[in-house]
Amino acid sequence: MTKNTMSLVSGANGHLGNNLVRLLLKQGIPVRAAVRNKNNTKPFEGLNCEIVQADITDKASFVSALQGVETFYAVGASFKLWAKDPKKEIYDVNINGTRNTIEAAAEAGVKKIVYVSSIAALNYTKLPANESGGYNPDRRDLYYNSKNDGEKLAFKLAKELGVELVSVMPSAMIGSEAFFPLNVSYHILKLILNKEIPVDTKITLNWIDVKDVANGCYLAAEKGRSGERYILANEECMTITDTTALAAKLYPELNLKVPNSVPKIVLYSIAGMMELTAKLNGKPPLLTRKDIAMFSGLQQNFDISKARNELGFNPKAPELAVKEALDYLMKNKSILGA
C-alpha cells in the first residue's frame, strides 16, 4: 500500500473505525471515512479526512464511496448481542452487509480488503484457540453466527471476484477515543465503575486495547496474506470479577465491591428476570440466560503467534489495557454518566 493512495474505513464513527481513521492519518495515508449518519461529526473533530455517507445495507452507496480507493477496511457491522429481532437486526444486517460491501469493492476496483471479523468466529473446543482450528461450532447466538457465516462469505466472494482479502479477528476492544454509546466491551467497564454488576457470572473477556487492534488492521493491509485470518487479541482472558477487583484496587475511593459467587441456577433466575424486564421496556438486558449458557466459565485464551510473526502484532498486556481504559472513563465523566 502506497502512502498517497486512498483508504476507506467503514463504520468510521464507531470505536474501532474511528481509532483506525486516526492511526491511518498519523501514517500519512489519505482517509475516506464512511458513516451512516453524516450529522454525527463529533468523532471527526480536528481530523483531516473526507467523510461520506454509506450504509452497509445499501450496496450502491458503497460502490460510490469506494471509487478511487486502494485499501478498504471493512469495519462497519451490527455489533450487539441482543435485539428485539436478532435475525433481522443483527444476522441479516451483517451477512447482507458483507455481501454488499465486498461486491461494491470489486466493482469499484479496490485492490485489498481488510475484513474485520471477530474471535466469535473461532473454534473454542481446543485451547488456546488459533486461526487453523476452524469455525465456532456453537450456533446458539445470532451475532456469533453472523461473524462465522460472514467471514466464510467474505472469503468466498473475494475469491470469486478476484479481490485480495485478509480477515482480522479482534477480541473485546477497550480504551482510547470513545463516544457515546460505548461498544459492548467498553460498556462492561462502565458497568463495573457504576457498580451495576451484582454477581459473579464467571464470564471471561479477552481484553485488547483498541489502538492495538487498529494497528493490527493496518499491519494486515501492509503484510497480511490474502485468504488468511489473523487473531488480534491477547493470549490470556480475565473474568469480569477479576476485572472488578483490579478496578477496586486502582480506585479505592469508589468503594467497589467484588461480586460474590452464586449457584448457576441463581444466575439463570436473575438473567430470566432481566430478560422479562427487557421485553417490557425494550432496553437490552444486563444478562441473559443464553449468556450464562454460552459464556459462563468459557475460557477465551488464544495463540496469537501467527499475527505476531507475520504482521508484527504486539499488543499491550490485558491488565494495562484495562487500567488505561478505566482511566479514560474516569476522566470522561460525561460518558461514564451517560
pLDDT > 90 fraction of the chain, expressed in percent and rounded: 89
Of 41-50, 114-123, 178-187, the least confident: 178-187
Q: Are 6 and 70 in contact (CB under 8 A)?
A: yes
324 lies in some domain = no
Q: Tell me the mean pLDDT in the region 20-27.
A: 97
Give the number of other CB atoms < 10 A from CB of residue 53: 14
Instruction: Determine the pLDDT at residue 26.
Output: 97
Nearest C-alpha neighbor of 326 from the set 259, 213, 243: 243
Instruction: Determine the pLDDT at residue 152.
Output: 98
267 lies in some domain = no
Supply the angle between the helices 318-331 and 240-250 in degrees, to the nearest 10: 60
pLDDT surpassing 70 at residue 141: yes
What is the DSSP-derived secondary structure letter of residue 203? B
- State the pairing for strand pair 164-170/112-116: parallel
Instruction: Determine the pLDDT at residue 34.
Output: 97
List of residues 6+ apart from 83 with CB closer than 8 A: 89, 90
Nearest C-alpha neighbor of 67 from the set 6, 146, 135, 124: 6
Q: Are 54 and 72 in contact (CB under 8 A)?
A: no
List of residues 6+ apart from 309 with CB closer than 8 A: none
- Residue 222's pLDDT band (cuts 50, 70, 90): very high
The four Cα atoms 46, 51, 57, 60 give a dihedral, to 10 degrees, of -170
168 lies in some domain = yes
List of residues 6+ apart from 35 with CB closer than 8 A: 11, 12, 13, 51, 52, 53, 54
Instruction: Determine the pLDDT at residue 178.
Output: 84
290 lies in some domain = no
Q: Are 3 and 70 in contact (CB under 8 A)?
A: no
Instruction: Determine the pLDDT at residue 80.
Output: 86
pLDDT tens profile 235-286:
999 999 999 999 999 999 999 999 999 999 999 999 999 999 998 998 899 9
Report the distance separating Cα 3 and Cα 70, nearest Å: 11
Q: What is the phi/psi pair of residue 29, to 5°?
A: -95, 130
List the domain range (segments joined by +) for residue 221.
Answer: 6-179+207-234+303-315
What is the DSSP-derived secondary structure letter of residue 43? G
Report the distance separating Cα 306 and Cα 168, nearest Å: 11
Give the number of other CB atoms < 10 A from CB of residue 174: 29
Report the distance separating Cα 338 and Cα 324, nearest Å: 20
Q: Tell me the mean pLDDT in the region 106-132.
A: 97
Mean pLDDT of the chain: 95
CA torsion through residues 178, 181, 185, 188, sign: positive
118 lies in some domain = yes
pLDDT surpassing 90 at residue 44: yes
244 lies in some domain = no
99 lies in some domain = yes
Instruction: Determine the pLDDT at residue 81.
Output: 84
pLDDT tens profile 225-234:
999 999 999 9
Instruction: Determine the pLDDT at residue 2.
Output: 52
Q: Tell me the mean pLDDT in the region 308-326.
A: 97
List of residues 6+ apart from 15 with CB closer than 8 A: 173, 177, 178, 179, 182, 183, 186, 210
pLDDT surpassing 60 at residue 305: yes
15 lies in some domain = yes
Nearest C-alpha neighbor of 237 from the set 144, 145, 119: 119
Task: Say if residue 19 is exposed, middle or buried (CB neighbours under 10 Å; 0-12, 13-18, 19+).
Answer: buried
pLDDT tens profile 145-170:
999 999 999 999 999 999 999 999 99
- What distance lies between CA 270 and its chain's CA centroid? 27
Report the distance separating Cα 243 and Cα 187, nearest Å: 13
Highest mean pLDDT among 28-42, 86-100, 180-194: 86-100
Nearest C-alpha neighbor of 200 from the set 110, 294, 296: 296
Domain containing residue 28: CATH number: 3.40.50.720
Number of domains in the chain: 1
